[in-house]
A and B are shown apart, each in its own frame.
Chain A
Amino acid sequence: MATPTEVAEAPGMPQLDLSTFPNQIFWLVVTLVVIYFVLSKIALPLIGGALADRAQTITDDLATAEELKQKAVEAEAAYEKALADARSEAQKIAADMKAEVQAQMDVEMAKADAEISAKSAEAAKALSAIKDSAMDSVKKVATDTAQEIVKAMGGSATKKDVGAIVANRMKG
């Protein structure tokens, strides 16, 4: 407080009291210099560094994300390719298998066909043999019967003649 002995202060603004100016200016300069050094040596590098670190981290993370995305795309392509490969492989195996089975089947069929035709030829042969022997028997019976009938009716015929006639009739 102003001492009473001082000349009555100009009523009004202490701002215009020049006697306090050196004091204010001195302490202001000290203050500003201290603040300047605290800021430029400690605070600003600290905060600026933190901001730069953060920007760097974000950039790095974005790059990593981009890289991982690329990898995922590649992995997907590889998977698709593997799938397509497996599919075509499966198709190939199925086709091969089918062809093999077909070939085997063809062979078996041919074998079976040959067997069947052999058997049927054999059967036909047997049949014709039986037919021939049956015809012979019929001929013989007919000849005998005809000869007996001719004999019974008082005629006579040689076995040979009758046989020729029978053979002739049977042909017709």
Chain B
Amino acid sequence: MAESKDGGLVFKPMDQFKVDSLFGDGPIGMFTITNVTLWMALAVIAIVLVMVVGARGRNIVPSRSQSIAEMIYGFVHNMVRDVAGKDALPYFPYIMTLFLFILFANFLGLIPGSFTTTSHIAVTAVMAVAVFLTVTIVGFVKNGTAFLSLFWVSSAPLALRPILAVIEVISYFVRPVSHSIRLAGNVMAGHAVIKVFAAFAAGGIIAVPAILGITAMYGLEVLVSAIQAYVFTILTCVYLKDALHPHH
């Protein structure tokens, strides 16, 4: 895919992110079955396999697949409890949904030739905005107007407080932007770099360092996949903590 017909090298590192209709060539409407649909469905299937089929034994001494599901459960459960507090546990399924979707979408995206749904800003932005709205609504429902004290840093000198309030408000509204771009940017950049290396690997002596580069980047991307899922989730927990306990 990197070799053009006229023999030169053509870099198309972004082609892997194209949203295509799976059946037919028509324009992509809202309900068109696309590669997005396919890879999201595969993520759902993978999640069901790991979290339901794998954990089905419910043994006192866990089987291997059960251990995996239990470790993921314990990891996210502890994160929610430690970061956001015990009263955030009702939101545990919601946070678990985000974590598992991002984790599995990232990992499925590492399969060569696959489509990475989390590399799209549309996907991550929806999740980030959903988190932003949830947190804001929860904050106001649980605390009423006291939620606004999040922006009023009572520990700062009085003269500084209005300035800090402006900064806090801006940073609050920037949250969904950084939250979504961090994930999509990391995933997209890594995949694009791998593709650039792949273009060089097409031939010649340059192929050797290029293939080594792909290998190294791939290892890094495995790490990034897990870490970005973790970062997205822990930030959600931090925002949720702000909503439940807005006092500094």
Q: Is the CB of A19 within 8 A of B28?
A: yes
Cα of A43 to Cα of B92 in the assembled complex, Å: 12
Q: Specify which chain A residues have a CB less than 8 angstroms from the CB of B184 in the assembled complex.
A: 15
Alpha-carbon gap, A3 to B20, bound state (A): 11
B40 near A28 (CB under 8 angstroms)? yes
Knowing A14-B19, A54-B60 touch, does A47 contact B73 (C-beta < 8 A)? yes
A137 within 8 A of B: no
Confirm or deny: A79 has a beta carbon within 8 angstroms of a beta carbon on chain B: no
From DSSP, what is the main secondary structure of chain A's interface residues? helix
B101 within 8 A of A: yes
Residues of A within 8 A of B41 (CB): 31
Complex CA gap A28/B37 in Å reads 8
Residue in contact with A53 in the complex, picked from B27, B60, B98, B126, CB distance below 8 Å: B60
Q: Does B69 contact A (CB under 8 A)?
A: yes
Report the separation of the CA atoms of residues A169 and B213 in the bound assembly, to the nearest whole angstrom. Answer: 156
Contact with A along B29-50 (1 / 0, CB 8 A): 1111010110011011001100
Distance of A123 Cα from B196 Cα, bound (Å): 142
Chain B residues bordering chain A, tally (CB within 8 A)? 53
For A20, give the chain B residue with the smallest CB separation: B19
Interface band, chain A:
35 or more
CB distance from A155 to the nearest CB of B (A): 141
Do B51 and A14 touch (CB < 8 A)? no
- B120→A23 contact, CB < 8 A: no
Complex contacts, A51 vs chain B, CB 8 Å: 70, 73-74
A28 touches B117 (CB 8 A): yes
The stretch from A33-41, A67-75, A85-93, A112-120 touching chain B is A33-41
Partner of A35, one of B36, B59, B66, B97: B97
B247 interface residue, CB < 8 Å from A? no
With an 8 A cutoff between CB atoms, is A25 at the interface? yes
Given contacts A15-B188, A20-B122, contact A35 B56 (CB under 8 A): no
| Contact partners of A25 in chain B: CB under 8 A | 122-123, 126
Q: Does A172 contact B (CB under 8 A)?
A: no
Q: How far does the Cβ of B58 sit from chain A's closest Cβ, in whole Å?
A: 4
Across the interface, name the chain A residue whose C-beta is closest to B98. Answer: A32
Q: Assuming A15-B122, A24-B36, is B60 touching A47 (CB within 8 A)?
A: no
Known: A21-B122, A44-B92. 5 other contacts (CB 8 A): A1-B25, A13-B17, A19-B27, A25-B126, A31-B101
Ranked nearest first, the 8 interchain pairs of A and B with the lowest CB-CB distance are A43-B51, A20-B19, A40-B93, A31-B40, A22-B30, A24-B122, A14-B17, A50-B58
Chain B residues within CB distance 8 Å of chain A: 14-15, 17-20, 25, 27-32, 34, 36-37, 40-41, 43-44, 47-48, 51-52, 55-56, 58-60, 62, 66, 69-70, 73-74, 92-94, 96-98, 100-101, 117, 119-123, 126-127, 184, 188
- 30 contacting pairs across A/B (C-beta < 8 A): A1-B18, A12-B14, A13-B17, A15-B119, A15-B120, A15-B188, A20-B19, A20-B36, A23-B19, A24-B117, A25-B126, A26-B31, A27-B36, A28-B40, A28-B117, A28-B127, A31-B101, A36-B97, A38-B48, A38-B52, A39-B100, A42-B52, A43-B52, A44-B73, A46-B52, A46-B58, A50-B55, A50-B62, A51-B74, A54-B60
Q: Which residues of A contact B (CB under 8 A)?
A: 1-3, 12-17, 19-32, 34-36, 38-40, 42-44, 46-51, 53-54, 57
